[in-house]
Amino acid sequence: MQKVWLITGVSVGIGRALAQVVAEKGDIVYGTLRKPEQMADFEALVPGRTHAVLMDVNNPEAAASGVQQILDAQGNIDVLVNNAGFGFFGAIEEVDMEEIDMQMQTNFIAPLRLCQLVLPAMRKQGSGYIMQVSSVAGFRGTEGLGIYNASKFALEGFSQAMAKEVAPFGIHVTMVEPGPFRTEWGGRSSIRSKKVMHEYDHTAGARIRTIHTYSGTQDGDPFKAADLLFDLSRNENPPLHLPLGQMAVDGFREKMSQIEADIQTWEARSTRTQFD
């Protein structure tokens, strides 16, 4: 059965690859773009099946209008992919509140808003699938990425709760958690804090330099990821968590091992904090 997709952030990266793969496999894709001059190129990606939606996901009116545009044209939205976002780098002491707000608005508030906008239609049709493009950084904190971590941790927190809330309506939720993929995330799509402190050069600074160094040579293939995500849209029991790539899988296992070690070390005292 042909499905209708709404994918945010389709100008580059995984969002672009996913839109192309989904449309080439026969589904209908509405992709959001922030610039009018980008629209014709996306419409021509797979003519007749890729439709451009002019939308800044941080604009509540534009988001509501864009979702209604799709519902008016198609009557339903089967798959929402909250992909739009950006990487923000800086040690915790370096970042200011304006930078924090910018990151949280795009990576957390905007996906939350779009979920709220599509859920009424999905509940009415008794089916739907929401893919939240998170990151291995949504499960494991990393120096230099603290605010990015916070935005993805927040995305994962509400998504886990939402998954339980919407399951009775036939709606599935998956948190897609890539490691390094060959996109512009660590390059021109990323932002560095305005303030840079030499005191953090060997921790946060070193990590940020490493990320910039391998940008464009990452192991992850966006089109292979897109193929997997398309297959998930046809799966009757998709996972809640989907670490993408070997580094992501290794990162998840490393953190889970650390958590288990902490629990075992402190369990005897931790469990004695209850009333007798």
- Per the annotation, the verdict on 30 as an active-site residue is no
- Per the annotation, the verdict on 124 as an active-site residue is no
Q: Which of 30, 129, 148, 200 is catalytic?
A: 148
E-strand stretches of 128-274: 128-133, 171-178, 191-192, 241-244
Distance CA 255, CA 245 (A): 16
* Residue whose C-alpha is closest to residue 80's, from 156, 168, 172: 172
Give the per-residue SS3 of 162-175.
Answer: HHHHHHHHCEEEEE
Q: Which of 3, 30, 134, 135 is catalytic?
A: 134
What sign does the CA torsion over 258, 260, 265, 266 have?
positive
Count Cβ neighbours within 10 Å for each residue of 70-91 and write b for 16 or more, e otherwise: bbeebeebbbbbbbbbbbbbbb
Q: Which of 11, 129, 151, 152 is catalytic?
A: 152
Q: How many CB atoms lie within 10 A of CB 268?
A: 8
- Per the annotation, the verdict on 255 as an active-site residue is no
Q: Determine contact, residues 32/8, Cβ cutoff 8 Å.
A: yes
Catalytic positions: 134, 148, 152
